[in-house]
């Protein structure tokens, strides 16, 4: 399980970096839905690190709200699994 989160974090971090690079070069971008999916699937740390280190998507309010909702949903799922099942 530990390796799953390490790999998810790394993939998500690299996806944010690639999307930033494509944005700068005016190339085809990675869809926000894929970035959010990667975040939800265990790449939260990679997403946050990517946003900070690449300065990517940090000024887009709608994306920040969606990312916050993904993190909140993850927290609710973990809470439910730990305390209700």
Tens of pLDDT, residues 4-36: 999 999 999 999 999 999 999 999 999 999 999
The answer to whether residues 43 and 9 touch, using CB atoms and an 8 Å cutoff, is yes
Domain range for 28 is: 2-84
- Looking at the structure of the chain, the number of domains it has is 1
Q: What angle do CA 37, 50, 19 make, to 5 degrees?
A: 70
The answer to whether residues 35 and 16 touch, using CB atoms and an 8 Å cutoff, is yes
The pLDDT of 39-66, averaged and rounded, is: 96
d(CA 75, CA 69): 10
0.85 surpassed by pTM: yes
* Percent of the chain's residues with pLDDT above 70: 100
pLDDT of residue 31: 98
The closest of 16, 72, 24, 19 to 43, measured between CA atoms, is: 16
């Amino acid at each position: 399980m530990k390796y799953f989160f390490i790999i998810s974090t790394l993939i998500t971090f690299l996806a944010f970096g690639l999307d930033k690079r494509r944005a700068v070069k005016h190339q085809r971008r990675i869809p926000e839905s894929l970035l959010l999916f990667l975040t939800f699937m265990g790449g939260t740390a990679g997403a946050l690190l990517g946003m900070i280190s690449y300065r990517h998507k940090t000024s887009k309010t709608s994306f920040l709200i969606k990312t916050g909702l993904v993190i909140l949903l993850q927290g609710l799922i973990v809470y439910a699994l730990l305390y209700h099942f």
